[in-house]
Chain A
Amino acid sequence: EDQVTQSPEALRLQEGESSSLNCSYTVSGLRGLFWYRQDPGKGPEFLFTLYSAGEEKEKERLKATLTKKESFLHITAPKPEDSATYLCAVQETGGTSYGKLTFGQGTILTVHP
């Protein structure tokens, strides 16, 4: 069974203080690893998809990386508007649940001005 574990559960940063969020996963065959951002009262907003170990993607202050067992979401010089819950999810290759996402518990990020 697919498992996704995110750490830390909550992270408080000062504006400009860079840090990283971790997503550890166990899956029989990885089709893709996804990062989403979720603001209170809203649905998840897509950030990145990573498909193979060694892959990296960047968007503004965010950079996502992938190894065979985990992914990191690096946040460089964060701003208060980066405050949100960040969700990691994996999608397995093949099987009867094509397209199904298994989510981690999320990391609640708070950036103080």
Chain B
Amino acid sequence: SAVISQKPSRDICQRGTSLTIQCQVDSQVTMMFWYRQQPGQSLTLIATANQGSEATYESGFVIDKFPISRPNLTFSTLTVSNMSPEDSSIYLCSGDRGGATEAFFGQGTRLTVV
């Protein structure tokens, strides 16, 4: 499978600020996804990012809070805006080439908001 480089790997941020997380894939992928994993919990999908169209957000997540860019088939960013301590979590991106292939994940970004 392909490799996703995600950065930063971790950050500590002040409440009210924003953080942009980047994911770079070493090959083209059809779809990219952004997940949140809160401490001790499983992965929850935030949004699906396709090139050339606006991201599709899951229930409970909105574009103003989590704006996403997907400028090409190998890159995507997620911004966590106006952060509060409740946004402290691990954020993960994944890629999927579609068809009979599996999704693969970046290493995650551990965000702490103080």
Complex partner residue of A44 from B56, B96, B105, CB under 8 angstroms:
B105
Chain B hits for A106, CB < 8 A: 42
Within A67-92, which residues are at the interface with B (CB < 8 Å)?
A: 87, 89
Binds B, one of A12-20, A58-66, A96-104: A96-104
Complex Cα distance, B55 from A97, in Å, reads 11
CB distance from A74 to the nearest CB of B (A): 20
User: Interface SS of chain A: helix, strand, loop or mixed?
Assistant: loop
A102 to B108, CA, bound (A): 18
B75 within 8 A of A: no
Interface residues in A, total, Cβ within 8 A:
23
Question: B106 is contacted by which of A43, A98, A99, A103 (Cβ under 8 Å)?
Answer: A43
Contact B105–A43 (Cβ < 8 Å): yes
B binding-site residues for A, Cβ under 8 Å? 1, 4, 6, 30-31, 33, 41-45, 48, 56, 92, 94, 96, 98, 100, 102-108, 110
